[in-house]
Structure 1
Amino acid sequence: MNHEDTAAAPRSEGAPDDGLSRAQRVYERLKEDIRAGVLRRGERVREETVARALGVSRTPVREALARLQAGGLLEVTANGLVVVTISHAQTLELYAMREVLEGSAARFAAQHAAPSEVSVLMRLGASFADAFGDAIRLADLNRRFHAAILDAAHNRYLVRMLEELSDALALLPGTTFQLPERGPLAVEEHAAIVEAIAARDPDRAEQAARHHIQQAQEARLTLMRF
């Protein structure tokens, strides 16, 4: 793994895991490194280098790498284990599924969200509007917004499907919020989703969520052309 000096600060085997296993912690860190571009598409990932960079033994790294491979984020090539490079066609397929699943999440949220969960969505929407100019923070708040909708949907099977899809999204380089126009548009799209959920209108919530993902896809395709 390149950039091992910046990939992670070493930590001892005895350091606390905050409830996460070492394998889970390594998995989450590598997934985030792929999302952030610290691990680039097509880059080789070596078990021993990851273990040294993260200050853990090779066993949890081996487990994490196997999970990333099973999830389609890593693949075995003639050069070894590398980060998958997602194609244009795969990107379209990914967003097509995201539109369906995110639309369903918003529909269920309109039916099942508790008042406190609607309040969380409103607060995240406000925080998002305050973060213009910071693409990384916007991307993080956007993920949290969608996670909050999923929580409000109260459907464990949808959670599993969207978690798997979220892993695949990590393969897309950068963030659509690098485009200056994307943030203001997303604020309006988020507001439409929250308004429909708060109004207990499943049809409108699903339609608003689908529109949001369609716009995100257009932004992604624009970014890919640069």
Structure 2
Amino acid sequence: MQKDAYTLILEAIDQGIYKPGDRLVEAELAERFGVSRTPVREALQRLETQSMLTRDGRSLIVASLDHNQLAELYVVRSELEALAARLAAKHATPEEVKVLQDMVEADRALLGDPAALARANRRFHKQIHLASHNRYLVQQLDMVHRSMALLATTSLAAEGRGEAALAEHDAIVKAIAAGDGEAAQQALRAHISKAFETRLKLDAGAVHGSTE
């Protein structure tokens, strides 16, 4: 299935091709993605409505999140992700649990590569969302993770955070595999809390990291 202009632009932001503050030009996007300018214009309008883009004079730029928006986003993310983990512990199939276990093992090979680890991290969380078997929750979490793309850095770039995050992922999967919704919920909430704490330290320049 061919991706539409909206999805192509959104993925480019998510992958860091366009970062917060970058200007998006209709003609350049149309040429880059090999589509006409009309769907690009419509996609840009849609992204502006969703607060992914903002106006800078007559230009549209990729939005960025201020401290308060970041805090608000993590509150919502923590609650929704915790709910997804609790539901996954109840509804995940053995095959879905095996996929999560395999992801944790495979991601160990990515330690030292924050960008690759960040992509793997998104896949891991998405798998938990799907394992919740609740389409409305998945839709809400997609919106939250779309906004996460507006963060210029990954908390996984902080020194030692990759190893810690994988240990946290392992604890989440063990709880889901055991069918322990309460433990899964607590483990995921603790994981998000640690990621938020690390991000705040990164933003304050208090820990070593990169802008991957």
Aligned partner of 2:55 in structure 1 is: 76
Question: Whole-Å Cα distance in 2 between the matches of residues 179 and 36 of structure 1?
Answer: 18
Residue 179 (structure 1) aligns with: 158
1:121 is aligned to 2:100 = yes
> Is 1:20 matched with 2:2?
yes
**Structure 1 residue 82, shift from structure 2 partner:** 1.4
Residue aligning to 1:209: 188
Query: Which runs of no fewer than 5 residues in structure 1 stay unpaired?
Result: 1-18
Q: State the percentage of identical aligned residues.
A: 44
Distance 2:10 2:183 in 1: 33
RMSD of the alignment, in Å? 1.4
State the SS of the aligned residue for 1:42: coil
One-letter amino acid of the structure 2 residue matched with residue 20 of structure 1? Q
Write the letter of the residue equivalent to 2:148. Answer: L
Matched residues, number: 205
Q: CA deviation at 1:32?
A: 3.1
> What corresponds to 1:15 in structure 2?
none
Is residue 36–residue 173 contact of structure 1 (8 Å, CA) maintained in 2?
A: no
Take 2:45 and 2:17, find their aligned partners in 1: how far apart are those partners? 19
- TM-score of the two chains, using structure 1 as the length reference: 0.86
The alignment status of 1:105 with 2:64, answered yes or no, reads no
SS where residue 81 of structure 1 aligns?
A: strand
SS at match of 2:110: coil
Distance 1:171 1:46 in 2: 18
Amino acid at match of 1:202: G
Give the Cα separation in 2 of the matches to 1:198 and 1:44: 45
Take 1:222 and 1:37, find their aligned partners in 2: how far apart are those partners? Answer: 21
Give, in angstroms, the shift of residue 131 of structure 1: 1.1
Partners of 2:2 and 2:47 lie apart in 1 by: 17
Q: Who is 2:127 aligned against?
A: 148
With over 3 angstroms needed to count, the CA separation of the structure-2 counterparts of 1:138 and 1:209, relative to structure 1, is: same
Q: Secondary structure at the match of 1:148?
A: helix
1:72 counterpart SS class: coil
- Which segment is superposed worse, 178-187 or 62-71? 62-71
Residue 25 of structure 2 is aligned with which of 46, 50, 67?
A: 46
How far residue 33 of structure 1 moved from its aligned partner, in angstroms, is 2.8
- 1:224 deviates by 1.0
Q: Secondary structure at the match of 1:130?
A: helix
TM-score (norm 2): 0.92
**Residues 1:139 and 2:121 are matched in the alignment:** no
Alpha-carbon distance change, 43 to 172 in structure 1, aligned in 2, over 3 angstroms: same
TM-superposed deviation, 1:152? 0.6
What is the letter of the counterpart of residue 21 of structure 2? Answer: G
